[in-house]
Amino acid sequence: MSGATHTVLVVGHADRDEADGVAHRAVEWLLERGHRVVATADDRAHLGLAASQVADLTDIGSVTLALSIGGDGTMLRTVKLIAGRDVPVLGVNVGLLGYLSEVEPPAIISALDDVMAGRHSLESRTVIDVEVHRAGAVERHRALNEASLEKLTAGHTVRLAVDIDGAPFTTYQADGLIVATPTGSTAYSLSARGPIVSPLLRAVLVTPLSPHMLFDRSLVLGPDEAVVVTVTGSRPVGLAVDGEFLGELRPGDRIVCRESKQPAVFVRLHARRFHQILKTKFGLADR
């Protein structure tokens, strides 16, 4: 990115007071150096950014760098806004866990200086394309973490038939099912006792939620093995992608999950060892 003028998308957490200050410092630094800054109307409002300085996001194709100021949820929203384009994301952690973010707020200016000078690397993360087939229509979504299907009625299980790579696998009787990426292995899938997988791997994870059956294990599949989940039985399920509820799936509806050809791209300024980040977040001792 060295030597170029960039259009930078700023995305911020609406409920973190610190996000405002970080955004203002970043915008001032970028504008002083001739870069263009854009944001959605909502982000501009809750970050208190002036319309005279920060333009409305009207063409995502013009964006060359995204600045995510928040926690992992803000990173997910930033990746969604980019919509599969090859735009690197620099994450500033003003959240809680911050698995995905690269820098802390005091380092924002030095981080931007390093990125603009080309002193950084890029890391690709697997994204799942999620096709939703219901009511005779097809919807398309992208998941950096997971697609989850869950029961809507307490006290009852649902039945979800799973095909893998074009062949029937089994029908789960469970509270639901999670189809996750390696990045998502430390998100919702983790709470369902799914495996922790290095985000540098290309894989698709399938984890049942409270299965009422003898087979209760997670599956770690290859990136080219498409997963189809069909709602069977009589009960509907709720569908969410990266935590956003997308409505009900009725019996006969299905989702198709496969690795996207457009991964998410994160800016890295430091050498990162996933297992060391995991150790820090969980407070693990050396021995």
DSSP per-residue codes, 63-82: --EEEEEESHHHHHHHHHHH
* Structural domains counted in the chain: 2
Contact of 94 with 13, CB cutoff 8 Å = yes
Give the separation between CA 259 and CA 204, rounded to whole angstroms: 8
Q: Residue 94's domain is classified under what CATH number?
A: 3.40.50.10330
pLDDT tens-digit map of 225-264: 999 999 998 999 999 999 999 999 999 999 999 999 999 9
pLDDT at residue 212, as a whole number: 94
Give the pLDDT confidence score for residue 97 in this predicted structure: 64
Q: Which domain holds residue 186?
A: 128-259
Q: Which of 184, 166, 273 is nearest to 226 (CA)?
A: 166
Query: Would you call 286 a catalytic residue per the annotation?
Result: no
User: pLDDT (tens digit, 9 = 90+) per residue, 73-93?
Assistant: 999 999 999 988 999 999 999
Look up tokens 């009852």; give the residue. Answer: 156
Categorize the per-residue pLDDT at 35 as very low, low, confident or very high, splitting at 50, 70 and 90.
very high
The reply to whether 274 and 236 lie within a common domain is no
Work out the angle between the directed axes of helices 17-32 and 108-116 (0-180°, nearest 10). Answer: 40
Average pLDDT over residues 159-169: 98
Q: Point out the catalytic residue in the list 42, 59, 72, 129.
A: 72
Q: What is the pLDDT of residue 273?
A: 79
Handedness of CA 140, 144, 149, 152 (dihedral sign): negative
Q: What is the pLDDT of residue 3?
A: 59
The answer to the question of residue 1 being in a domain is: no
Residue 2 lies in a domain: no
The full DSSP string for 230-274 is: EEESS--EEEEETTEEEEEE-TT-EEEEEE-SS-EEEEE-S---H
Model confidence at 183, pLDDT cuts 50, 70, 90, reads very high
Q: What CATH number should be reported for the domain holding residue 177? A: 2.60.200.30
pLDDT band at 1 (very low <50, low <70, confident <90, very high): low
Are residues 85 and 178 both part of a single domain?
no
Answer yes or no: do 71 and 175 share one domain: no
Same domain, 118 and 13: yes
Position 64 pLDDT exceeds 90? yes
What average pLDDT score do residues 108-133 get?
Answer: 96
Tell me, yes or no, whether 77 and 49 share the same domain.
yes
Span 145-160, mean pLDDT? 96
pLDDT at residue 33 tops 80: yes
Q: Do 202 and 136 fall within a single domain?
A: yes
